[in-house]
Amino acid sequence: MTDAAAPRENEPRIDAEEILEGILDWVEVETPTYHGAEVNKLADKVQAVWSDVGCSVERIPGRDGFGDHVLVRSPDWKEGEPSILVLSHMDTVHPMGTKDAANPIRREGDSVYGPGIYDMKAGAYLPYYAWRHLKRMGRANGMPVTFLYVSEEEVGSPTSREVIEREGKKAKYVLVTEPARDGGKIVTARKGVGRFELKITGRPAHAGAQHQDGRSAVKELAHHILEIEGYTDYERGVTTNVGMIQGGTGVNVVPREASAEIDLRVVTAADGEELTAKILNRVARDPDVEVEISGGMNRPPYERSEAIDALFEQARGLADKTGLELVSTPLTGGGSDGNFTAALGVPTLDGLGADGKGAHTLHEQIYVSSLEPRAAMWVELLAGLK
């Protein structure tokens, strides 16, 4: 921190070790998305810490096997008044037991490792610490705040999207605690994400004795894979990826069934509509084969706008008070819950979590040196956004 950000005499200082202790308490609770009961153990901790600082807490029951969502309101929050929505998720991509073997929780120099520590338990903890620190200093928050912790972001937020959009419509600004990018940069635009499933049904036959009677689902699928992959256009920022395929029952059987799962990334809503139509418009090459495809865009593009630019400039000015220079990435390919709120037209900033690297990997880590400046940034954002 610079001298400008140093606390006045007798004011408590932001303590990176204290922040890290709180983060690690959350990382110790492993939270794979599809283990709703495990995610709820972290939801219990989130509920407890926010209740302890005088905020109202609502548990939104999970469904379809997912964990609960936790909705926190600052005491001054009132329906219809300008407010901030802070979005975080509690789930991770890592299976149970990762902290005990594949990526144990440990500190090596400036790096602290653990499953989900970077994406995004450190980021989820930072605004809580900043809020508590504001109260320690006797400072007021600038606008009322809602803090929303969801349980299934890593699989597209299928049960929380409705809550995110409902709360987003109530907010003047949305701040997302996903991890920082590329050495501490924040995010002001993300690609939209589409997911599709393609199923082919052919006619089985003995591969030697009656090959001519068969209609290969795998052969049909291969044609569609090449066509769909051919939609990739790097200049437009469009990528199509056939990431999973299945088919056949044996090497000596003309395969009756085959399937593929497809990922689409686009920069603009118009590109999303165009590519969705192309992918869904499947026509069988073999008239004796049945083709079925389902899916669509599950996260709209998060397109940078004048309103987002204005929010970024305001946030950059507030961060300057702490000595932290906010820099934005031009675009990132991964989606987040910020895609939903940005698509609603609500000014959204993302990537406001800790700096580090290795999201979704077994070397996932945060940098301890980023915790103090990022917490100080959060203090100023919560106190100063107008």
Residues 32, 133 share a domain: yes
Q: Which residue range forms the structural domain that includes residue 210? A: 192-299
- pLDDT at position 286 over 80: yes
pLDDT of residue 182: 87
Lowest mean pLDDT among 10-14, 111-115, 283-287, 307-311: 10-14
Residues 151, 130 share a domain: yes
CATH number of the domain enclosing 167: 3.40.630.10
Residues 367, 295 share a domain: no
> Which of 211 and 1 is assigned the larger pLDDT?
211
- pLDDT at position 5 over 60: no
Residues 146, 31 share a domain: yes
pLDDT of residue 352: 98
pLDDT of residue 11: 72
Where is the domain boundary, 299, 334, 354?
299
Any idea which residue has 């929505």 for tokens? 85
pLDDT of residue 9: 60
- Residues with Cβ within 8 Å of 84's Cβ and at least 6 positions away in sequence, in order, are 143, 144, 145, 146, 171, 172, 173, 174, 175, 381, 382, 385
Average pLDDT over residues 153-166: 97
Q: Which residue type sits at 370?
A: S
Tens digit of each residue's pLDDT (9 = 90 or more) over 253-279: 999 999 999 999 999 999 999 999 999
Quote the percentage of the chain above a pLDDT of 90.
95
Helices (H), the chain: 16-27, 36-52, 122-137, 161-170, 217-229, 269-280, 306-320, 338-343, 371-384
Pairing of strands 239-247, 257-266: antiparallel
Residues 166, 75 share a domain: yes
Rounded CA separation 155/248 (Å): 28
Rounded CA separation 260/265 (Å): 17
335 Ramachandran zone, left/alpha/beta (phi>0; psi -120 to 50): beta
Tens digit of each residue's pLDDT (9 = 90 or more) over 73-107: 999 999 999 999 999 999 999 999 999 999 999 99
Contact by Cβ (8 Å): 231, 238: yes
Our count of domains for the chain comes to 2
Residues 318, 242 share a domain: no
As to burial, measured by CB atoms within 10 angstroms (0-12 exposed, 13-18 middle, 19+ buried), residue 94 is buried
Residues 163, 40 share a domain: yes
Rounded to a whole number of angstroms, the CA Rg of the chain reads 24
Rounded CA separation 49/115 (Å): 21
Beta bridge pairs of residue 246: 259
Where is the domain boundary, 253, 282, 299?
299
Which two structure tokens, joined as six digits, stand for 251? 């090497």
Residues 278, 210 share a domain: yes
Pairing of strands 111-113, 365-367: antiparallel
Any idea which residue has 């809503």 for tokens? 269
Please report which confidence band the pLDDT of residue 8 belongs to, taking 50, 70 and 90 as the band edges: low
Residues 262, 377 share a domain: no
> Which of 12 and 112 is assigned the larger pLDDT?
112
Contact by Cβ (8 Å): 133, 375: yes
Backbone angles phi, psi at 17, to 5 degrees: -70, -35
Say whether pTM exceeds 0.75: yes
Tens digit of each residue's pLDDT (9 = 90 or more) over 24-82: 999 999 999 999 999 999 999 999 999 999 999 999 999 999 999 999 999 999 999 99
Which two structure tokens, joined as six digits, stand for 276? 């969705």
Residue closest to 92 by CA, chosen among 161, 45, 27: 27
- pLDDT at position 2 over 50: no
Rounded CA separation 54/46 (Å): 13
Residues 95, 19 share a domain: yes
Rounded CA separation 90/46 (Å): 9
Residue closest to 295 by CA, chosen among 218, 226, 198: 198
**Mean model confidence pLDDT for the chain:** 96
Report how far apart, in Å, the C-alpha atoms of 181 and of each of 46, 120, 325, 380 are: 25, 12, 14, 20
Residues 204, 185 share a domain: no
Contact by Cβ (8 Å): 29, 42: yes
Our measurement of the distance from residue 351's CA atom to the centroid of its chain's CA atoms, rounded to an integer in Å, reads 10
Rounded CA separation 165/8 (Å): 40
Where is the domain boundary, 299, 318, 352?
299
Residues 314, 227 share a domain: no
Direct distance between the N- and C-terminal alpha carbons of the chain, in angstroms, rounded to an integer: 24
- pLDDT at position 298 over 60: yes
pLDDT of residue 330: 87
- pLDDT at position 6 over 60: no
- pLDDT at position 4 over 80: no
CATH number of the domain enclosing 248: 3.30.70.360
CB atoms within 10 A of CB 377: 25
